[in-house]
């Protein structure tokens, strides 16, 4: 189910996209959020969301850095079987 949810500071998707493509790290992070959660009527796309998080992180976006580090740590736990007991 897609949500017509909007993100703070960007009631219009075109404004968000413009700011993200112009290199605003906050907008790049929010573009990742929009893609990850399917905001503005977009279909969820975690792979594309990760690319926007990486763009934000490359410019020092702390929230994007934190999120990407958490994803990497979770992947390492899964790789080594630390979550094997979970159903």
Provide the pLDDT confidence category of residue 21 given band limits of 50, 70 and 90: very high
Decide if 2 is inside a domain: no
Provide the pLDDT confidence category of residue 33 given band limits of 50, 70 and 90: very high
> Sign of torsion, CA 25 29 32 34?
negative
Decide if 1 is inside a domain: no
d(CA 28, CA 53): 7
What is the per-residue pLDDT across 35-70, written as a single tens digit (0 to 9) for each? 999 999 999 999 999 999 999 999 999 999 999 999
Decide if 87 is inside a domain: no
Decide if 6 is inside a domain: no
Decide if 40 is inside a domain: yes
Q: How many domains does the chain have?
A: 1
Residues spanned by the domain of 18: 13-79
pTM for the structure as a whole: 0.79
Read off the tokens for 84.
């094997």
- Beta partners for residue 7, in sequence order: 10
d(CA 41, CA 80): 37
Q: In a 3-state reduction of DSSP, which class is residue 1?
A: coil
The answer on pLDDT for 23 being more than 50 is yes
């Amino acid at each position: 189910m897609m949500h017509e949810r909007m993100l703070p500071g960007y009631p219009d998707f075109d404004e968000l996209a413009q700011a993200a493509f112009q290199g605003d790290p906050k907008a790049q992070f929010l573009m990742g959020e929009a893609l990850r959660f399917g905001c503005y009527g977009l279909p969820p796309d975690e792979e594309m969301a990760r690319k926007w998080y990486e763009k934000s992180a490359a410019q020092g976006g702390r929230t994007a850095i934190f999120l990407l580090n958490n994803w990497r740590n979770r992947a390492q736990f899964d790789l080594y079987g630390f979550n094997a007991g979970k159903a």
